[in-house]
Amino acid sequence: MSIHSVTLSYILTALKTSQEDLCAQGINPHTLVAIYNDFLTRKYDLNAISQITANTLLQAPGAQAIRYRIKDPLHLLRKVIRKKAEYPERVIDHHSYLDWINDLVGIRVLYLYKESWRSLGQYIEEVWPLKRPPVAYIHECDTGMLVEELEKGGCTLRRHPLGYRAVHYVISTQPHRQRYFVEIQLRTLFEEGWSEIDHTVRYPDRTCNGFARDLLAVLNRLTGNADDIATFIKIFFDKMQAKKSGHSTATWTQEERQELEDEIKKLPVTPEERQRLHEHIRQLPGRIHSAD
């Protein structure tokens, strides 16, 4: 089958729908055929954009790994159908779908520490124009400094009921005459692990029962805990490096110890683990003042 030979019959069978159902949704079935065929002609350009963008992002500070993909053409049609249901007034056809669909190219940038989204986001905004402000997906229960910094960084916050966390950027790129939009997702390595497992269970047409949903919720909580501990590790070792550099005293002040103690109180650890961490703090070089 050549790239121009996709038929309406093929589309209807692949989408498990009928002309009547599509028309009832305000969608011309032949429009989907035209979008599918047009998209296939753009695969070469989209692959090139994926590789160029991914290679550029590898230079970003804090980027640990890059993953990218071109949207599956049938997933594209399903998204067009969903968008038409959400925005009935929009005209989405083979002429305009490039302006409405932001993730024909999807790129994930994975990083170690939650705070790294700032330097990555700044890099993205320096290299490419944005279609819209970044969107930060956070858990319904997320609060604190990171959420405040996401807001200060210009992110639109969207609380996700399933616990999905990531910062999404939509960039505009035009290596040749045609402009394309690329969605860049920033997430930690732990968030990526949870998201991949969640995606496997829920998407695209899988039934997720209550048992599986509860297990995914537990895994999501543990993922958040892992990110919190990773952040604390970075805080501690940044202080250690500053002291070793010679620009700071090698001893730990009472105030610095108290800051570490306060952070330990927030960590999701057992009482025994917390006790050992407190003991390590007491053994850091420097004088400990008595309580009286």
- For a pLDDT cut of 70, what percent of the chain falls above it? 93
Residue 190 covered by a domain: yes
**Are 204 and 226 in the same domain?**
no
Could you say which of 152, 176, 211 is where a domain stops?
Answer: 211
Residue 289 covered by a domain: no
**Are 92 and 123 in the same domain?**
yes
> Which domain does 167 fall in, by range?
8-211
Residue 122 covered by a domain: yes
Could you say which of 161, 193, 211 is where a domain stops?
Answer: 211
pLDDT computed for residue 288 by the predictor: 62
Is residue 29's pLDDT more than 90? yes
**Are 193 and 63 in the same domain?**
yes
Type of residue found at 241: Q
Residue pair 194/220 in contact (Cβ under 8 Å)? The answer is yes
**Are 261 and 141 in the same domain?**
no
Q: For residues 130 and 148, what is the distance between their CA atoms, to the nearest angstrom? A: 22
**Are 259 and 138 in the same domain?**
no
Q: For residues 192 and 114, what is the distance between their CA atoms, to the nearest angstrom? A: 12
Q: For residues 9 and 157, what is the distance between their CA atoms, to the nearest angstrom? A: 42
Is residue 248's pLDDT more than 60? no
Residue 98 covered by a domain: yes
**Are 102 and 233 in the same domain?**
no
Q: For residues 128 and 275, what is the distance between their CA atoms, to the nearest angstrom? A: 48
Residue 218 covered by a domain: yes
Helix (H) or strand (E) holding 273: helix 271-282
**Are 139 and 226 in the same domain?**
no
The number of distinct structural domains making up the chain is 2
**Are 120 and 234 in the same domain?**
no
**Are 13 and 41 in the same domain?**
yes
**Are 264 and 166 in the same domain?**
no
Report the SS3 class of residue 156. strand
| CA 227 from centroid of its chain's CA atoms | 14
Tell me which range, 30-39, 160-169, 282-291, is most confidently predicted by mean pLDDT. 30-39
Task: Categorize the per-residue pLDDT at 27 as very low, low, confident or very high, splitting at 50, 70 and 90.
Answer: very high
Q: Which two tokens stand for residue 224?
A: 């958040």
**Are 85 and 188 in the same domain?**
yes
Is residue 289's pLDDT more than 70? no
- Mean pLDDT (whole number) for 118-126: 96
Q: For residues 33 and 77, what is the distance between their CA atoms, to the nearest angstrom? A: 9
Residue 252 covered by a domain: yes
pLDDT digit string, tens, across residues 131-176: 999 999 998 888 878 889 999 999 999 998 888 999 999 999 998 8
Residue 292 covered by a domain: no
Residue pair 163/173 in contact (Cβ under 8 Å)? The answer is no
Residue 216 covered by a domain: yes
Q: For residues 57 and 123, what is the distance between their CA atoms, to the nearest angstrom? A: 8
What does the DSSP 8-state code read for residue 250? S
| CA 134 from centroid of its chain's CA atoms | 11
Is residue 1's pLDDT more than 70? no
Could you say which of 159, 179, 211 is where a domain stops?
Answer: 211
**Are 261 and 171 in the same domain?**
no
Q: For residues 73 and 90, what is the distance between their CA atoms, to the nearest angstrom? A: 20
Is residue 61's pLDDT more than 90? yes
Task: Categorize the per-residue pLDDT at 35 as very low, low, confident or very high, splitting at 50, 70 and 90.
Answer: very high
Specify burial of residue 263 (Cβ count, 10 A radius: 0-12, 13-18, 19+).
middle
Is residue 34's pLDDT more than 60? yes
Task: Categorize the per-residue pLDDT at 211 as very low, low, confident or very high, splitting at 50, 70 and 90.
Answer: confident
